[in-house]
Structure 1
Amino acid sequence: MRTRKQDAKAFEAMEEWNAKYPPGTAVDLKLPDGSIMRTNTNGYSGVTMQGQAVIWLEGIRGQHLLSNCTPVIRTCIGCGNKVHPGEVPACGH
């Protein structure tokens, strides 16, 4: 049975994700067999009626747990600085 604490934790995870990562963010999804699949988010995250923070991904049916998704941090080709999803490179490249 779900608790209010679990619900609050899921909503907090959802809000934190949505604040940091816009739709279209590249992510690595950990699949049940342990392999990794790179894809993009297809919208904002949400919380299921079961109290789980989830996200929808391009090219994959259904929703997936946020805990199985890792945002892809890219490297600026102009200066080599790390650029997190949703950020504009400070270097202007």
Structure 2
Amino acid sequence: MTGRDGLLRQFTKTVLETALDEQMTEHLGHEKHEKSADGRAANTRNGTTAKTVTTEAAGPVTIKVPHDRDGSFDPVIVKKRYRRLNDVDSVAPMLGA
């Protein structure tokens, strides 16, 4: 359950990646693969980068952090240049949970 590929680590990965995807959707103003009225979007998703973060409960977790084309996306739950997540619960109010 808490081992290298344990349930807690997989759950943490899924929750973090889902939150990051939702933050990207909010940032861009449209869903993944959705086009604007004229068929083009000024800023779009531009892939992901793997990042290993350390959590108190699950230990190190490798996640995929999304990027946008113009580099203006600034994640809230997993901040740029940070590798340690000490209190993920404190971020929930910022995400509207």
Q: Do Structure 1 and Structure 2 share a fold, with TM-score over 0.5?
A: no
Structure number with the higher strand fraction is 1
Question: Larger RCO: Structure 1 or Structure 2 (Cα < 8 Å, ≥ 6 residues apart)?
Answer: 2
TM-score computed with the length of structure 2 as normaliser: 0.31
Q: Higher helix fraction: Structure 1 or Structure 2?
A: 2
